[in-house]
Structure 1
Amino acid sequence: MAGTKTTTGAPTDVTQKHNKGGIGESTLRPDGTLKVTGEFAYSSDMWHEDMLWGQTLRSTVAHAEIVSIDTAEALAMDGVYAVLTYDDLPAEMKNYGLEIQDTPVLAHGKVRHHGEPVALVAADHPETARRAAAKIKIEYKELPVITDEASALAPDAVLVHEGRDDEYIKWVSHPNIVHNQPIIRGDAEEAAKKADFVVKGEYTFGMQDQAFLGPESGLAVPSEDGGVDLYVATQWLHSDLEQIAPVLGLPEEKVRMTLSGVGGAFGGREDISMQIHACLLALRTGKPVKIVYNRFESFFGHVHRHPAKLYYEHGATKDGKLTHMKCKIVLDGGAYASASPAVVGNASSLSAGPYVIDNVDIEAVALYTNNPPCGAMRGFGAVQACFAYEAQMDKLADKVGMDRVEFRQLNAMEQGTLLPTGQPVDSPAPVAEILRRVKARPLPPERQWEIADGDADVRELPGGLSNTTHGEGVVRGVGYAVGIKNVGFSEGFDDYSTAKVRMEVINGEAVATVHTAMAEVGQGGITVHAQIARTELGVQQVTIHPADTQVGSAGSTSASRQTYVTGGAVKNSCELVREKVLEIGRRKYGSYHPAWATAELLLEGGKVVTDGGEALADLAELLEDETVEIEAEWRHRPTVAFDKRTGQGNGHVQYSFAAHRAVVEVDTELGLVKVIELATAQDVGKALNPLSVVGQIQGGTTQGLGVAVMEEIVVDPKTAKVRNPSFTDYLIPTILDTPTIPVDVLELADPNAPYGLRGMGEAPTLSSTPAVLAAIRNATGLELNKTPVRPEHLTGT
């Protein structure tokens, strides 16, 4: 059994030392230079002495009985140490899952989607492992595939999961429905009769991939106590731990997890991918096992954004006031539940958008199908709804005869507005203001491609360097959209985080160490934690301990929650440490320094000072040989689950709002689109790091652009097989596709949040997509009710 050999590339402490760098300053990220120079150690870079390589064999069909599996030829290969199938799993628990434990570690009896893991191989070289996996012989008996609402809910539909006994089954009308959530408020039927104008629409939202930089990877190292140490790129260490330990047959304390370098996530790492597989192989062989997916396998190794069908009806009076809304949202959850129940809750509760609508009849459902599993992705159900309701707002404004932005402003929610769930918005909701700001921004110059002598700068035209046009048939369009996104986990989830903060003297200087289990996936959390410690403790040098499961849970890096919740935990622990330090000062100096007993004391610039700025003591001298360390949890306000029949309830913690104005140019003859600008305005409550805030908003905006005009995982409707699992065929925006993204940041404090901040990473992904679609519609006059917009949609070919 492997012992305590060094793991090269394992995470180390990150020390940040700045002259300033507190809350509200644009402190540079300590990992930034390493990442852009290629020196940062990602999980795929890890290495261990005597390491084996793991490989997963995946199903080549989407739905089939497994008749037989023959591993003999693979086991006989030189260099192969282990081949595992379902029958080799060591524990009674053989399934896992975020909300419903319906996902088998390895397929048993049948496979339910293309690319499902069936067998594992460990070998002394990655190519040997791949060749051995290819020698495993599997006989399938194919079954009918469920690929859409009609096939899933037909009276004679094949059940994707037989014998369901999860908590959601009693609330659904068919076993192929994962979860449904109605929301009823007012009387939509009666209100529809009083509407002067009614518009209806049917919308289709494509399946989007998170397309993160670093494919799934990790290293499992067996330990002498019979446990395992796992170094992995993930979004939620403790959730992984809770799913991994039972299927290994180990207590949680024997599965020690450490976050390794993460190359992006966007929801795609909330679910288990290679974690259990690497641990199983390491425990079976007694050797460290590394698994690294290539890009092809990554498309099968993580969940995607739910594709959706959305059916909407809105009504308005002749003066433009919304009367009612009816909608049905059908999300394709794929073969396993993942986060589908929570996505349904978000999609339904946010389906009306940031508008005042007193009468609603809403239903959102997620289906089990044999398509690829879908789960969390940035925006989490609210993205699909925003695409539909914003198209509806344009249609209805045109019917009423109002300017599209003014129509939105007339119906915009504000602080105090009741959501369709009956929950009041109890913090600033500047919907009308962010719309005003994006509309007021000067437009980019017209015909900016024109240069001297009638020539054209083709880089500024649709088609770009392909030189497809010199401006003939190119039409400009402008479109607007605004969205609402919840922040944090909802519906009664016990959403908390833990932080351990230590303050001590090293080399004559008071320094701090912050230890959390927060997954740094590129969002800049480690930078913010150091800023909080500098602000609250008055130190300059802050060390961020590697995230692991040796400290309490920090929850998931998702739902725009980490700065709010784990930042809140760091602030809380720092405040407790500060009070302990001040107690030391009172004990040492209270007898002859009256200010210690009477003034409000602060830690600032390495000193204890009064609220008037008078320095009382140097922190290094005060602490001397003493170390103060406190680990504490922090929780936000409680939420409740939505009523399963009416959808009423205070289900969310906080809301984030963003608006976009898109300017596009369309070659109407070839169907090519160039997005010139995507201006945005967003309320962030408090910009803890303004530079990072702008980067997050621009990044989310670009992801919304991608799904608007290029990104879609294409699944064959007859076979449920993925047709484009590569970046050759699945297109994402490059720098040449990304427009100018001017950002207008508002800071309207939420009194319930630490520093008044508002989670802001997801909101830009909502409104950027419908803004781009609105601009293309404005340029072409076409309805365009599907994402992504393709050239054939614009030319009719």
Structure 2
Amino acid sequence: MPAPGPAGVPTKITQGAQAAGGIGESTLRPDGILKVTGEFAYSSDLWHEDMLWGHLLRSTVAHAEIVSIDVSEALALPGVHAVLTYDDLPADVRHYGLEIQDTPVLAHGKVRHHGEPVAAVAADHPETARRAAAKIRVEYRELPVITDEFSATAPDAVLVHEGRTDHHAPYVTHPNILHRQPIVRGDAASAAERADVIVRGEYTFGMQDQAFLGPESGLAVPEEDGGVHLYIATQWLHSDLRQIAPVLGLPEDKVRMTLAGVGGAFGGREDLSMQIHACLLALRTGRPVKIVYDRFESFFGHVHRHPAKLTYEHGATRDGLLTHVKCRIVLDGGAYASASPAVVGNAASLGIGPYNVDDVDIEAVALYTNNPPCGAMRGFGAVQACFAYEAQMDKLAGELGLDPVEFRQRNAMEQGSTLPTGQVVDSPAPVAELLRRVKAMPMPPERQWESSEGADVRQLPGGLSNTTHGEGVVRGVGYAVGIKNVGFSEGFDDYSTARVRMEVVAGEPVAVVHTAMAEVGQGGVTVHAQIARTELGVEKVTIQPADTRVGSAGSTSASRQTYVTGGAVRNACALVRERVLEIGRRKFGTYHPAWATAELLLERGKVVTDGGEVLADLADVLEGESVEIEREWRHRPTQPFDRRTGQGNGHVQYSFAAHRAVVEVDTELGLVKVVELACAQDVGKALNPLSVLGQIQGGTVQGLGVAVMEEILVDPVTAKVRNPSFTDYLIPTILDTPTIPVDVLELADHHAPYGLRGVGEAPTLSSTPAVLAAIRAATGLELNRTPVRPEHLTGTA
């Protein structure tokens, strides 16, 4: 079978002297120009000779028994090559899932959420496939919908999943509670009696979409040995493989996977979408099958950020020290488990924020409902908690008459602090310093819309809608800080694999790096090349396409890839370097005593002593030989949280970010203009400062979106999604993006490669509550939900 055509070939990325740069330098992305000019090949650009197109029929109701499915009209349509339902699946394994295999490949017996896949079609044209899917007749008998905690846990509640046997089931009080994690330390009830001030609050966090720009897509190509080769945009190739192979009835070595161009992820590609369906159709028809979701399908085809209800009680003494925190966090997991158990663990263990509190009582739960499935999204449970605990800190500061930054600093954790889980923070935790720095940044000028040439309406709430010229516009300033774990937690075997080869090509030494890391826009391909240059002293580095011919790199999530896969690349490079030097000693050591007596380094294609003396060219050392080494790399182990108390060393590393938001609010129309979102963040070591800045600014804008505009609306009666399009689901554009000055700290974590700290998620936490705090300061309103809408500011809600 021929390989995919030009638009679908994952290409090697070679970085040479024109992109030279090692660790600590701002090296440009090798794929950057291709992406901004529109020449980059994404998974939706894949093409293959004799290719068919796949399409899915999705449920039109959220909860119903499937009485019958009639595919005869669809099969009779000219150009249709296959129609599959649950009963056509080839293997005994017909469900999949990240942790709990509760998701059917195609709906069986009943559907559990609006938009669930019911049937798959393959046809010779995408429009034919869509028309055929529309001709499939499905008869439903609707069931009551479970949409919130009350309906989920009522004594007579319909069960979303009957007969649960997963490992969380024995620890919950109702089958519609997917997972529960308490965190108990000290005695919060007794501590409350010592509090001079107690504040309480109930908070609502809306369902956010990852809103990646490249919709789900991929190409499955049947192989001559009966296997299949899947070119796919994903976050974790080996996790996909683990779930796909059993459903196809194939051993894993007959399911090859290659990463295609990914147009963003943010957690939404951790779960499977169309992977299994494309492979099934390709194996059924014997022809390559491509599936590309449109934006409407994409809203149904991936998980979202958990909406949440959060109830908090904070107490403090008159001198501004926290006495206790009680909280309950209820996350709506939707119809299937996805990553909900891990999200619950994060929300619970990070539920009080980066503060010292001896007495805490936390409970976090995730529910099974008939709402859309929710799972991983940037910030992963800590985002929802941060929104609530930071609002509480502002409330307490107000009651105590303290400056909100000073109050936070009095209670800020530091290196050596103990978390509610009992884990001691053993790396820098500069929470007070981050707050100091962000507060010290220069404030943006007042009334920026005014100029000698007249009003610039783009600087006003409402922007180009020209709704005001400054009447009724007031300014507010707000602060927030957050804590986020880095890497997989709770005893998960978190590791990565890297294969590094050194060889001579056209007379020059070249390093070749091969990992299964999913490059989803975070810049890992750039960093891996920087590591190879630094460790191996070469200018030219080739990054091989990510696929399953090399060991797992884990997921591109949890801010872990630079830490874990970067660590694997560094480890493999170090071993390659030693092997290269051994070759050099064998070839040249007898002619120069420094080969045996000096510390030897690789720099700029040469072997040099620690005194700078050049001993040989690397090309001469490797002439006629090459060195290749593959190694795994693991960080220190973690522990599961105790099911009763939540105690345990559950996390590897923590990252911290603080924001100051400056907003202007039109109090008459309820419009908000975020003028500035200043950020201070500790990154441990900025391996690529330019990339670090982009991650911080990108995470900041994503937090801004959920503060003032982003929310998937689900009908509370029918559980149907009401706004599955970018027409009705709003995300920030460049006109909504404020100035984002960034102050980067580099306080090394000596447990991590190069002292680095995961970067990408922490700014997503604190930007949202900072914006809400600023709007509260401007309006005097309580504002206990996200996103803030105009009616919440004008009293018309």
How many pairs were matched up?
795
Mapped contact 1:43–1:232 kept (Cα < 8 A): yes
Residues 533 and 82 of structure 1, relative CA distance in 2, 3 Å threshold: same
Counterparts of 2:227 and 2:3, CA distance in 1 = 13
Distance 1:792 1:491 in 2: 42
Are the equivalent residues in 2 in contact too, given 1:215–1:292 (CA < 8 A)?
yes
CA distance in 1, matches of 2:5, 2:471: 63
Q: CA deviation at 1:8?
A: 4.2
Determine the C-alpha separation between the residues in 2 that align with 1:403 and 1:595.
63
What is the CA–CA distance in structure 2 between the aligned matches of 1:438 and 1:733, rounded to whole Å? 23
1:359-393 superposed Cα distances (whole Å, 9 cap, x missing partner):
00000000000000000000000000000000000
Q: Is the 8 A contact 2:749 2:755 kept in 1?
A: yes
* 1:580-659 correspondence to structure 2 within 5 Å: 580-659=579-658
Aligned partners of 1:5 and 1:144: how far apart in 2?
46
Q: Deviations over 1:276-319 (max 9, x none)?
A: 00000000000000000000000000000000000000000000
Q: Is the 8 A contact 1:92 1:247 kept in 2?
A: yes
Q: What letter is aligned with 1:88?
A: D
The residue matched to 2:785 in structure 1 has which SS? coil
Does the alignment pair 1:307 with 2:289? no
1:251 aligns with 2:251: yes
Question: Is 1:212 aligned to residue 227 of structure 2?
Answer: no
Residue 124 (structure 2) pairs with residue 88 (structure 1): no
2:676 aligned counterpart, secondary structure: strand
Partner of 1:225: 225
The answer as to whether partners of 2:3 and 2:48 remain within 8 angstroms in 1 is no
Shift of 1:456: 2.2
1:68 aligns with 2:68: yes
Whole-angstrom distance in 2 between the partners of 1:601 and 1:172: 59
State the alpha-carbon separation in 2 of the partners of residues 296 and 448 from structure 1.
Answer: 39
Please give the per-residue CA displacement for 1:581-614, whole angstroms capped at 9, x wherever unaligned: 0111111222232211121111111011112221
**What is the CA distance between 1:5 and its match in structure 2?**
6.6
Instruction: Quote the residue 1:473 is aligned against.
Output: 472
Aligned to 1:752: 751
Cα deviation for residue 547 of structure 1 reads 0.1
Asked if 1:108 is matched to 2:108, the reply is yes
- Return the letter of the residue paired with 2:597: T
Q: Which residue of 1 aligns with 2:794?
A: 795
Bigger mean CA deviation after superposition, 583-592 or 101-110: 583-592
Q: What is the aligned partner in structure 2 of residue 662 from structure 1?
A: 661
Give matches, 1:555-574, under 5 Å: 555-574=554-573
Unaligned runs of 5+ in 2: none
Alignment-derived partner of residue 353 in structure 2: 353
The alignment status of 1:743 with 2:778, answered yes or no, reads no
One-letter amino acid of the structure 2 residue matched with residue 729 of structure 1: D
| 1:16 corresponds to 2:15 | yes
Q: Is the 1:498–1:569 Cα contact (8 Å) retained in structure 2?
A: yes
2:526 equivalent in structure 1: 527
1:318-373 residue CA offsets vs partner (Å, 9 max, x unmatched)? 00000000000000000000000000000000001000000000000000000000
2:702–2:764 Cα contact (<8 Å) kept:
yes
Q: Residue 161 of structure 2 aligns to a residue in which SS?
A: coil
Residues 123 and 129 of structure 1 are in contact (CA less than 8 Å); yes or no, is this contact kept in structure 2?
yes
Cα distance, 1:418 vs structure 2: 0.2
Shift of 1:4: 5.2
The structural deviation recorded for 1:400 is 1.1
Q: Does 1:725 align with 2:695?
A: no
CA distance in 2 between partners of 1:5 and 1:591 (Å): 51
Name 2:694's counterpart in structure 1: 695
Query: Which residue does the alignment assign to 1:416?
Result: 416
2:600 corresponds to which letter in structure 1? Answer: L
Distance (whole Å) between structure 2 residues aligned to residue 80 and residue 538 of structure 1: 56
Distance 1:5 1:408, change over 3 A: closer
2:298 aligned residue: 298
CA distance in 1 between partners of 2:477 and 2:157 (Å): 45
Question: How far did 1:401 drift?
Answer: 1.2
Match of 2:260 in 1: 260
2:370 matched residue in structure 1: 370
| Rounded Cα–Cα distance in structure 1 between residues aligned with 2:356 and 2:587 | 59
Q: Report what 1:182 is aligned to.
A: 182
Contact 2:327 2:362 in 1 (8 A): yes
2:65, 2:711 → 1: CA distance? 29
Separation (CA, whole Å) in 1 of partners of 2:455 and 2:289: 56
Asked if the contact 1:206–1:308 (Cα under 8 Å) also holds between the matched residues in 2, the reply is: yes
Residue identity in the other structure for 2:255: V
1:706 aligns to 2:674 (yes or no): no
Q: Distance in 2 between matches of 1:319 and 1:415?
A: 23
Distance 1:464 1:207 in 2: 26
The AA in structure 1 aligned to 2:406 is E
> Which letter does structure 2 place at the counterpart of 1:493?
F
Percent same amino acid among aligned pairs? 84
Please give the per-residue CA displacement for 1:504-533, whole angstroms capped at 9, x wherever unaligned: 001111111000000000000000000000
- Partner Cα distance (1:645, 1:593) in 2: 66
User: Equivalent residue of 2:591, what SS?
Assistant: coil
User: What amino acid maps onto 2:248 in structure 1?
Assistant: L
On the 8 A contact 2:4/2:46 being kept in 1, the answer is: no
Q: Within 5 Å, which residues of 2 pair with 1:449-460?
A: 449-452=449-452, 455-460=454-459
**In the alignment, what sits opposite 2:676?**
677
| 1:153–1:176 CA contact under 8 A, matched in 2 | yes
Provide the secondary structure at the position in 2 that maps to 1:655. Answer: strand
Counterpart residue identity of residue 58, structure 2:
R
1:602 and 1:490 map into 2 onto residues whose CA distance is: 37
Counterpart-to-counterpart distance in 2, 1:749 and 1:728: 44
1:733-760 per-residue CA deviation (whole Å, 9 max, x = no partner) reads 0000000000100000000000000001
In 1: Cα distance, 2:2 partner to 2:249 partner: 21
Where 1:60 maps in the other structure, the secondary structure is coil
Question: Aligned residue for 1:323?
Answer: 323
Q: RMSD between aligned alpha carbons?
A: 0.8
Q: Is the 8 A contact 1:86 1:106 kept in 2?
A: yes
Distance in 2 (alpha carbons) for counterparts of 1:33 and 1:124: 34
Structure 1 length normalisation: TM-score? 0.99
Q: Is the 8 A contact 1:7 1:48 kept in 2?
A: no
The residue type paired with residue 156 of structure 1 is D
TM-score normalised according to structure 2 size: 0.99
The answer to whether residue 519 in structure 2 is matched with residue 506 in structure 1 is no
Match of 2:483 in 1: 484
Contact map agreement 1:86 1:105 (CA 8 A) in 2? yes
What's the counterpart of residue 386 of structure 1?
A: 386
